[in-house]
Amino acid sequence: MKMTEIRRFKDEDALETSDLIRKTLSEVNSKFYPNSVIEYMCNEFSPKFLIELSKEREFFVAIENSKIIGTITVMNDYIGTAFVNPEYHSKGIGTKLMETIENLAKERKIENVRLQSSINAVDFYEKLGYSKGEKSQSEEYGVTYEMSKAL
């Protein structure tokens, strides 16, 4: 059985993490979103942007066989940047990343966590006990759903 390690993001992870996010956007999210949204997000999630993001949020990566296969961030009660390499979907990586963040939130006495879900991830979050809230739409990110969970 392969061991997946969750650890904090380091600046030197930026290129590999950016590649992972772009791969997921191109292979998975592109089935649910127009090209303009995928292009915008692929451009946004540059290595430089991820390094900047890691200064504002706590940033974690999932590693298997020294390869980054997943990513997630948290700031206060907000969870973001949750991506798993499509080759590792349905293998518990996303769940493990979410548990890491939820446990951190519980330790900090945060009672509710929230996130913006892409269309394709709503079912995943609902299975983890998240409730679907408001739908929002923007030119940059397309349709997303506010989701929350009481811890």
Count of domains forming the chain: 1
Evaluate if residue 1 carries a pLDDT over 70.
no
Q: How many CB atoms lie within 10 A of CB 21?
A: 24
Taking residues 124-150, report their average pLDDT: 97
d(Cα 136, Cα 17) in Å, to the nearest integer?
A: 26
pLDDT single digits (tens) 27-72:
999 999 999 999 999 999 999 999 999 999 999 999 999 999 999 9
Q: Which domain holds residue 118?
A: 5-150
Residue 149, helix vs strand vs coil:
strand
Q: Which long-range contacts (CB under 8 A, 24 or more apart) does 69-74 make?
A: 69/4, 69/20, 69/93, 70/20, 70/94, 70/96, 70/97, 71/9, 71/17, 71/20, 71/21, 71/97, 72/97, 72/98, 72/100, 72/101, 74/101, 74/104, 74/105, 74/113
pLDDT digits (tens, 9 = 90+) for 77-118: 999 999 999 999 999 999 999 999 999 999 999 999 999 999
| Residue 15's CATH number | 3.40.630.30
Structural tokens at position 4:
């997946």
pLDDT given for residue 3 in this prediction: 87
